A and B are shown apart, each in its own frame.
Chain A
Amino acid sequence: EPEVTQTPSHQVTQMGQEVILRCVPISNHLYFYWYRQILGQKVEFLVSFYNNEISEKSEIFDDQFSVERPDGSNFTLKIRSTKLEDSAMYFCASNPGQVPTGYTFGSGTRLTVV
């Protein structure tokens, strides 16, 4: 079964440093997403991406965040200057997009800001 692949599985960074989280969505999917989940809490929408541009973003997705699809397969989330409160599990997801259907999530990157 096709998978969404995320790397790294765990990233530790110092406060103020930039991090890039990487995702390879399912190849024939058209919509890509980033979500985050603070430990023990609900999954929160960050941003959706379609046709090489941001489709929608949440209040969490401020100027410190950016997304990019640098080539035909990778989809990245960059956090410019990490804060302690950015520590969370970050999930990439993709969706075929033609009709509403379930989202396929990657296994996540656990980001720890120290």
Chain B
Amino acid sequence: GQQVMQIPQYQHVQEGEDFTTYCNSSTTLSNIQWYKQRPGGHPVFLIQLVKSGEVKKQKRLTFQFGEAKKNSSLHITATQTTDVGTYFCAGPLGGGADGLTFGKGTHLIIQP
């Protein structure tokens, strides 16, 4: 079945440093979504990318979707303590509004 792989599993950064997490799918995706989960919390939708080569920005967060629509990345510039959490990418299981296959997530740990 479809697999979504994410690296790294853990990332320790000093506050103010940049952070990047990478996501790879075994199959071409119609879209890819990113979620953030704070410790003890639930996944919160960040963004959806649909087009090949798409780049979207949300303040200090930059999201990219690869040309082949099989990989994606999330880059955070100048991390802050509020960025702590686990960042998951997720791809649709099928068409329409079927469920999502999540990557294992990248745990971002920030040292002040």
Contact = CB atoms under 8 A, between A and B. Distances in A.
Interface of A: 30-31, 33, 35, 41-48, 50, 55-56, 58, 91, 95-97, 100-108
B95 to A, nearest CB: 9
Given A56-B94, A100-B31, A100-B92, A45 B45 contact: no
A59 to B, nearest CB: 9
Contacts, number: 67
B16 interface: no
| Residues of B in contact with A, size category | 20 to 34
30 contacts: A30-B97, A31-B97, A41-B104, A42-B88, A42-B103, A43-B35, A43-B43, A43-B88, A43-B102, A44-B102, A45-B93, A48-B97, A48-B98, A56-B98, A56-B99, A58-B99, A91-B42, A97-B96, A100-B30, A100-B31, A100-B50, A100-B96, A100-B97, A102-B33, A103-B33, A103-B100, A104-B45, A105-B44, A105-B45, A106-B42
Contacts of A96: 97
B85 interface: no
Interface of B: 30-31, 33, 35, 37, 41-48, 50, 88, 90, 92-94, 96-105
A44 B99 CA distance: 9
Nearest to B50: A100
A31 to B, nearest CB: 4
B102 A95 contact: no
- Residue of B42, B46, B93, B100 most packed against chain A (CB within 10 A): B42
B43 A105 contact: yes
A44 to B, nearest CB: 7
B104 A50 contact: no
